[in-house]
Amino acid sequence: MFSFCTDPSTLPDWQWMACYLTTTKHMSLYWSVFTVLFLLAVTAPAALAFGFAGASAARSKIMPVSWLGKGYIAIVRGVPDIAFFLFFVIALDQAIEYLRHRALCPDWSEPVRQGNDFVVCQAAKMPLGNAPQWVHESYGFTLAVVTFAIVFGAFAANVLFGAMRAVPHAQLETAEAYGMSPRQTFWRVLVPQMWVYALPGLSNLWMVLIKATPLLFLLGVEDLVYWARELGGIKTPRFTEYPHGDWRMWYFLALLVFYLLFTRASEVALDRLMTRLSHGQATTAGEAQRKAAA
């Protein structure tokens, strides 16, 4: 990037480090920060949507719907995250390819399952072999988002289900006494009040989601952990212009600082949100606000 980076072997230490930190691979490392932030920005509302749907289904008076919601919560929460990530991504990828295979290659006569191999026609591959690199990366990232949303949606559903049950039942009965339908009671009374009960659990879930982003590395997405390991490993003069020893400790220390700063900023934002949601509520925090204003 800098004009003095023509011959790294002749540079003093500070110029060598400036050139080293601005190589193309380091730019990929910096870009992976935005990959993590974008994953969180997309996954958090998606997981919350899954959670809200699961919690609403779990409290349904229709038994099959209630069983579906409670089953979703119990099954996903009962499986280790890594096992679910590794299984679901493969299963979802093969399911997509199988459906495309049935639609695009109806004349295919060979079985899809051939021993341990999963074989579909070339047109059904996802993504196609001649697709640009950004398509492959976008496809892998999309699978990761869906998997994250389903896994953390189950935990969010459990939190929201408990929050819905924490809203005083007398308020729901009062709403019904005033002539509100069950639908109106749900959206106008239950849902607005449940957030103050749900936010502590959702805050913890947000922190867990932040710490789980390195699982992208297991899904083949080039995230911060991938580049920290790639760049921090031993580099010899034969393979790079910037040879160095094993610097992985320093790269992972930088990741530690990044995640600590990010979680601290999240704590401050969540505390402010909790204060705002507690205003006027019949909770300990709401009572404290009323006493402070008096």
User: pLDDT at position 88, please?
Assistant: 80
User: pLDDT at position 288, please?
Assistant: 56
**For residue 291, what is the DSSP state?**
H
Give the three-class secondary structure for 278.
helix
Positions in the chain short of pLDDT 70: 1-4, 8-9, 129, 220, 238-239, 279-294
User: pLDDT at position 293, please?
Assistant: 59
Instruction: Give pLDDT tens digits for 1-36.
Output: 666 677 766 777 777 787 777 888 888 888 888 888
Would you identify the CATH topology of the domain 8-293? MetI-like fold (1.10.3720)
Cβ proximity of 271 and 203 under 8 Å: no
Domain boundaries, the chain: 8-293
Closest CA to 254 of 23, 25, 30, 19: 30
Q: How far apart are CA 144 and CA 136, in angstroms?
A: 12
Q: Specify the amino acid at residue 35.
A: T
User: pLDDT at position 239, please?
Assistant: 62
User: pLDDT at position 279, please?
Assistant: 65
Which residue has tokens 């072997």? 9
User: pLDDT at position 294, please?
Assistant: 60
Rounded to 5 degrees, what are φ and ψ at 61?
-85, -10
**For residue 118, what is the DSSP state?**
E
Q: At what angle do helices 133-166 and 24-58 cross, to 10 degrees?
A: 40
User: pLDDT at position 110, please?
Assistant: 79
Q: How far apart are CA 269 and CA 267, in angstroms?
A: 6
Which token pair is 285? 């925090």
SS3 per residue for 37-81: HHHHHHHHHHHHHHHHHHHHHHCCCCHHHHHHHHHHHHHHHHCCH
